[in-house]
Copies of this chain bind each other. A is one copy, B any other.
Amino acid sequence: MPTTPTGSPAGPGQQGTHLTHGAHPHVVPRHPRLDPLADRYAARTHGMKTSEIRALFSVVSRPEVVSLAGGMPAVTALPLDAVGSMIGDLVSGMGAQTLQYGSGQGDPRLRERICDVMALEGIRDASASEVVVTVGSQQALDLVTRVFVDPGDVILAEAPSYVGALGVFQSAQARVRHIAMDDDGLIPEALEQALVECRANGDRVKFLYTVPNFHNPAGVTLTETRREAVMAIAERHDLLIIEDNPYGLLGFDHEPMRALRARDSQRVIYLGSFSKTFSPGLRVGWVLAPLAVREKLVLATEAQVLCPPSLTQYAVARYLDTQPWREQIKLFSELYRERRDACLESLDAMMPAGTTWTRPDGGFYVWLKLPHGLDAKRMQPRAVNALVAYVPGIGFYADGSGREYMRLSYCYPEPDQIREGVRRLARVVEAELDLHSTFDAVDTGTFRAVGRRASGHDAETIVGPANSNAYEDGRA
């Protein structure tokens, strides 16, 4: 039973929230026997738990804390006046549409524009009829999982994986098998080995869930060679791939890479989002899927929400029609690049030996590995005392591993705050090292070490509802 109060401003699984209002304090029954309905809940609720990230919020929202925890985009970099009057006009001028129910599949005009956006990543054969608009790409992921996954089915997912995806898989009572990654992304050999072993075990593998670009939380990107290798494996093993790509257009150094979906329109279901390129508060995402799947997704979304909000869909479509959205994405990328630089430079300058981290060339996140023997989860209260917050790595694994990792987000704080945050964090790590007297155990590994460890360790483990509470212990 989750015991963390959430009446306090609570944020979405994956996200930092910036809340200014208070909420009623309250007490959640701490023991199932105090809940008269305790014996009536569905089986799928048993593993549901408050995310590591949500547990941090009351702390992180204190202004004196530098938060490297949340994944909030820098929305104030948008032309707010222009967007405001654009949306106001939509309501005054088109209220009969923007305030009314719409189609379950989503506004046809928006779906056309979404095809234009995907073309930037090499997807040129998509038609608006294959697109379903969703309430953020989170809902897209939930719908796809609902349509494909029965309890006990196996989902392959990178180690680590987006925490919000793990929540969806958990609630579908799926078993997650992690696939090792390194600095070049998902390791194709580990994927193939997993598929062979699953077949041997008689596991029903429903799909591979992957974030190929600027991975959350790992910060790495799947290389071109690996993309080809992964597609070849998918072909060989008749594997369905869910390509989750909210960050693909936010690269710092080169043009967007060619999506997996651009290589195979039948075998890849693509999830996109306007949360990072425009605004997450509108909750507009989408899924691109073969027509037969699309049909099922529409039925599933109608049962779930009837239709996505009309106003927010019209707002995005109008934004894409009338505002310089490509330039805005460039501007966002510049801003995040500056913050990434501030983060990496201070890590280079200040982190004690034995600490390693990834070097993202896009997106929001750095994935940091602590010196041998340190535990990011256990260190967290001391970090908060030192007025810096991060997300412990453990939440990004379905199997309780990842204690030596943390995710640092550089997307939201200003560069100076980032530098100050990293300075504080470095001091905490040093103090921790002193405490543990583990100066001898310096680890010079890179992220590649995760891959090796994971492919050795995780390869035997499939994590399902039965043991997915493993990482719930010791919440601060």
Contacts and interface: CB of A to CB of B under 8 A. Distances in A.
A201 interface: no
A10 interface: yes
A381 interface: no
A303 to B, nearest CB: 4
Interface of A: 2, 6-7, 9-29, 34-38, 40-45, 48-51, 54, 72-73, 75-76, 78, 80-81, 83-85, 87-93, 95-105, 107-109, 111, 127-129, 135-136, 138-139, 142, 146-150, 153, 164, 167-168, 170-171, 206, 240, 266, 275, 279-283, 290-293, 295-296, 298-300, 302-312, 315
Given A129-B26, A291-B29, A40 B303 contact: no
B78 A84 contact: no
Nearest to A49: B299
A135 B132 CA distance: 16
Given A12-B306, A37-B240, A311-B282, A78 B99 contact: yes
A102 B57 CA distance: 12
B100 A72 contact: yes
B84 A90 contact: yes
A35 B148 CA distance: 14
10 contacts: A15-B307, A28-B291, A83-B99, A84-B92, A99-B282, A138-B306, A167-B302, A168-B303, A171-B300, A282-B310
Contact of A24 (B34, B88, B129): B129
Nearest to A109: B21
A84 B89 contact: yes
A97 B20 contact: yes
Given A44-B150, A311-B311, 10 more contacts: A12-B307, A24-B129, A37-B290, A40-B148, A42-B148, A87-B311, A100-B281, A164-B306, A167-B299, A312-B312
A46 to B, nearest CB: 10
Contact of A75 (B37, B95, B240): B95
A281 B102 contact: yes
A24 B115 CA distance: 13
Contacts of A16: 101
A127 B24 contact: yes
A51 B306 CA distance: 11
B101 A11 contact: yes
Interface centre among A17, A18, A88 (most CB of B within 10 A): A88
A174 B292 CA distance: 24
A100 B136 CA distance: 12
Q: 3 tightest A-B contacts by CB?
A: A88-B88, A84-B92, A12-B306
Contact of A136 (B51, B291, B305): B305
Interface centre among A41, A148, A280, A305 (most CB of B within 10 A): A305
Given A102-B17, A240-B40, A291-B28, A7 B129 contact: yes
Given A23-B108, A302-B12, A292 B96 contact: no
Contacts of A97: 18, 20, 281
B295 A18 contact: no
Contact of A291 (B19, B26, B148): B26
A264 to B, nearest CB: 12
Given A23-B128, A300-B48, A303-B164, A108 B281 contact: no
A13 to B, nearest CB: 5
Contact of A103 (B9, B96, B146, B310): B9
A465 to B, nearest CB: 13
B128 A280 contact: no
B282 A138 contact: no
Nearest to A314: B281
A37 B91 contact: no
B78 A21 contact: no
B283 A309 contact: yes
A342 to B, nearest CB: 21
A111 B23 CA distance: 9
